[in-house]
Amino acid sequence: MARLTAWARLGRARWGRRARGLARRWRSSLQLQVLTSTLAIGLVALAVIGAYVSERTSAGLFEDRLGQVLEESARSTQQVQDQLSASPASTSPEVALLLEDVTTQQRNGGSGERDVFLLRAPGQNASIAVGATATDSTLVALVSRDLKQAVADGGQHWQSVGIPTAAGSTHPGIVVGQQVDVPLAGTYQMFFLYSLQPEQERLDFLLGTLALAAVAVVALLGAMTWSVTRRTVDPVRRAAHVAERLADGHLSERMVVHGRDEMATLARTFNEMAESLQDQIHRMEELSTLQRRFVSDVSHELRTPLTTIRMAGELIHGARDDFEPSVKRSAELLATQLDRFEDLLADLLEISRFDAGAAVLDAEGRDLRDIVVQAVDNAVPLAVQRGSWLRVDLPDTRADADVDPRRVERILRNLLVNGIEHADGSAVEVTVGVDASAVAVTVRDHGVGMTAQEAEHVFDRFWRADPARARTTGGTGLGLAISLEDAHLHGGTLEAWGRPGHGACFRLTLPRRAGIRLTGSPLPLQPEPEASPAVEAGPRRSTDPVALPELPPMTGEIAIVSNPTDPVRTDVRLDDAGVPADVRGAS
């Protein structure tokens, strides 16, 4: 029993899979949908038409036959009445013989053979008692009591009946009755039983013919629909295939044109569109190549005069103490702008490498916590200058991953510089997370923040949320764009979140091994509401102060927390040049 149940479940599962497969195929094929819909509508229409025709034909045949039967039976009844009235029979045997002769003579009517019953009317008390006569006594039971009562009330009455056959089936018939007066015997009821089998056979033949015609029409309709949809859908399928090939980069792919009909016009128009797109893409590729070459050539060519200007600037900057105050300030500005110019050239060269696809990832296994601590150490002088306090949360477990340390440190440096610049003296929090497939770093500031639309464009080249805001830290406008390209080179993601007046958060997520596809991140991008600092609602000016809970005085310190349940505060002492002198207690 258990084996039969298992086989039944297996059979249901197999049929379920087949049904789901057919459903998927039906949903994915326009030709099959049109064909099945057309056949379904055609079958319903033919069924309705067939039912209507059958009903009307059956009713017409029956009404015609009924009128003929009623007229014929009335005429026969009158003939019998005349014959009985003219008969000289005076004894019971003579009357019985007369009734049998009349019944036999009336068996053959004008429209064919029929059965005749001559039954004594109920309630008769005549002096001569003569029994009933019938051509087939087995069929007398078909005359119902209601029909007998209706005939006894006078007039001609009829009733539909089912006449049994020798094979055990029945065929339709009509019983028509009317009273006659028999001499010496009283009133009798004369019934004629007519068979409607010929009419039923004609109706069956007509319905069979209609069914064959319906099958032929459905087959013809299906063939026509299949042919029309195939001539319509096949060019669309070819166009979809060619479009996929074009999307894959095969710009020379074209559709085959046959004839001059609408489908051929579609194919020619599609080919013209593909030709135009190919020309435009080629022109854009050539323009992009020229632009990349121009940027690369200009960057290289500017290095030689920049080196000369750098040497002269360093010479002037070294002797600035001997100059007048205005000249001394000019020398300092010259050195600062030369640094920015050099950074801009370096960033342009890096961007040109990404655009040309020449960027190479020099990956090695590293603990991401070490890279984060190093990047934070390098950002401490800038944080001291801007009055920001740095806090780092590190996990207890190692955050090992195959990364390019130089590129990852550059990403973190750009994020830290961006966070410190926009923190407006508030805290900047760096958090490291790790799971089985990815490592992540978030850089959270509590400054002016940004809107959702600004977060979508923050990685665009040379884009600023506020064009009037000056880059006092010497940014080139390419740092976040380069950071995004570095993250993509690792197979990772770099995302941004912000709210006006509540700061911003940047999240870097990298796979721990090459080939891992990221499906999530160990750290959330949007900070938890309870973890957000208490700031006043609404947008703020960049000069408005930010109230942070228990923010210690700015002394050039960073806090590195190696275990969130047992924080360890680590001081980073700065020397006179603003460089960390020692790090105690760092994990």
- Encode pLDDT of 266-294 as tens digits: 888 888 888 888 888 888 878 777 777 77
φ, ψ at 506 (rounded to 5°): -115, 135
Rounded Cα gap, residues 404 and 490, in angstroms: 8
Strand runs labelled E in 470-551: 493-499, 503-511
φ, ψ at 481 (rounded to 5°): -65, -45
- Domain extents in the chain: 90-197, 263-353, 361-583
Helix (H, G, I), strand (E, B) or coil at 429: strand
Closest CA to 133 of 105, 108, 156, 112: 105
CA quadruple 181, 186, 191, 192: dihedral, nearest 10: -50
Instruction: Give the pLDDT of residue 329.
Output: 84
The fold of the 361-583 domain, in CATH, is Heat Shock Protein 90 (3.30.565)
Please check whether residue 390 is in contact with residue 379, taking contact to mean a CB–CB distance below 8 angstroms.
yes
- What would the DSSP string read from start to end of 327-380? HHHHHHHHHHHHHHHHHHHHHHHHHHHHHHT------EEEEHHHHHHHHHHHHH
Instruction: Give the pLDDT of residue 5.
Output: 65
Rounded Cα gap, residues 30 and 13, in angstroms: 27
Closest CA to 172 of 201, 211, 210: 201
Rounded Cα gap, residues 172 and 201, in angstroms: 11
Helix (H, G, I), strand (E, B) or coil at 577: coil
The one-letter code for the residue type at 431 is T
Distance of CA 458 to the CA centre of its chain: 32
Q: Which stretch of DSSP H or E encloses residue 181? A: strand 170-182
Rounded Cα gap, residues 257 and 265, in angstroms: 8
Cα dist. 377→339, 489, 577 in Å?
21, 25, 14
DSSP classification of residue 468: T
Please check whether residue 347 is in contact with residue 388, taking contact to mean a CB–CB distance below 8 angstroms.
no
Instruction: Give the pLDDT of residue 576.
Output: 42
Instruction: Give the pLDDT of residue 530.
Output: 44
Please name the residue that has the structure tokens 């893409």. Answer: 281
Name residues of the chain where pLDDT drops below 50.
470-474, 530-587
Q: Any idea how long the chain is? A: 587
Quickly count: other Cβ atoms within 10 Å of residue 393's Cβ. Answer: 19
- What would the DSSP string read from start to end of 182-224? ETTTEEEEEEEEEE-HHHHHHHHHHHHHHHHHHHHHHHHHHHH
Closest CA to 115 of 64, 69, 68, 61: 69
Rounded Cα gap, residues 233 and 363, in angstroms: 50
Instruction: Give the pLDDT of residue 465.
Output: 60
pTM for the structure as a whole:
0.46
DSSP classification of residue 505: E
Is it true that domain 263-353 has CATH number 1.10.287.130? yes
Instruction: Give the pLDDT of residue 494.
Output: 92
Give Rg (Cα) of the chain: 52
DSSP classification of residue 155: S
φ, ψ at 532 (rounded to 5°): -75, 145
- Encode pLDDT of 206-252 as tens digits: 888 888 988 888 888 888 888 878 777 777 778 888 888 888 888 88
- Its CATH architecture, for the domain 90-197, is 2-Layer Sandwich (3.30)
